[in-house]
Amino acid sequence: MENNNIKQGVTYGIIGGLIFLVLSFGLWAVGSVENFVSVTGVTTFIPYLFIILLVVGFKLRKDNGGLYSFQEALQFTFVAYVVFAFIEALGTYVLYAIVDPDMTAKVIEITIAKTIQMMEKFGATEAQIEDTVKRMQAEPKATSFKQVFLGLGLAIVFNFVKALILSVIIKKNEEIPDQI
């Protein structure tokens, strides 16, 4: 079953990555940058890959006679998340650095405007708002390979935590009767 875990992980990592690419490039192609920022902000918090891996993980457990060790589940989920993270990083780099090199600057401008609105709504002082805006304006206006690579590293660490959580949920070991 070990090879199947890795194969399934690659398969569903690619599926999750393709969903990400369709969402990202589709939103970029059909809408304004402001709509892109709004919708991608929401889709970032929709755990579609988590849900996919949970459903498939339960199916793999069922196909394995109702048993699925933590190690098997972790192989499947973590491989899927790593493949997804690579596709996500590559897609982000292509969109922000090659297809639309001005995208990073546009996103920063929109993010600053939304941050100001939010801070004013929560009663932040003018000094706090100015400090936050200065820090945001100091961010690079272009997406570099280095930024994407560092983001990939962080994504893999966070995705490992998600894979651990999923694996705990999916696993089911053979029950050993209590012996007295």
Mean pLDDT value across residues 37-51: 79
Confidence (pLDDT) at 178:
66
Count other C-beta atoms under 10 Å from residue 36's C-beta.
Answer: 22
| Of residues 20 and 141, more confidently modeled | 20
* 165 in Cβ contact with 113 (< 8 Å): no
Q: What is the pLDDT of residues 149-165, one digit of tens each?
A: 888 999 999 999 999 99
Task: Please classify residue 76 by burial: count the beta carbons closer than 10 Å to its beta carbon, then call 0-12 exposed, 13-18 middle and 19+ buried.
Answer: buried
Q: Residue 143: which of 113, 112, 99, 110 has the closest Cα?
A: 99
Listing DSSP states for 108-156 in one string gives HHHHHHHHHHHHHHTT--HHHHHHHHHHHHTS-SS--HHHHHHHHHHHH
Report the percent of the chain where pLDDT is more than 70: 96
By C-alpha distance, which of 107, 106, 133 is closest to 118?
133
Q: What pLDDT score does 180 carry?
A: 59
Residue 1 CA to residue 23 CA, distance in Å, equals 33
Q: Is the pTM of this model over 0.95?
A: no
**Helix 48-63 / helix 145-170 crossing angle, nearest 10 deg:** 40
**Tokens describing residue 75:** 């192989």
pLDDT greater at residue 46 or residue 114: 114
Q: pLDDT grade, residue 105 (50/70/90)?
A: confident
β-partners of residue 68 are 172
Mean pLDDT for 32-50 is 79
pLDDT digits 0-9 by tens, 45-89: 778 899 999 999 999 999 988 889 999 999 999 999 999 999 999
**What are the start-end ranges of the H helices in 31-69?**
33-44, 48-63
Q: In this structure, what DSSP letter does residue 172 have? A: B
pLDDT at position 47: 86
Whether 1 shows a pLDDT value over 50: the answer reads no
pLDDT band at residue 136 using 50, 70 and 90 as cut-offs: confident
- The Cβ-side half-sphere exposure at 83, using a 13 Å CA radius, reads 22
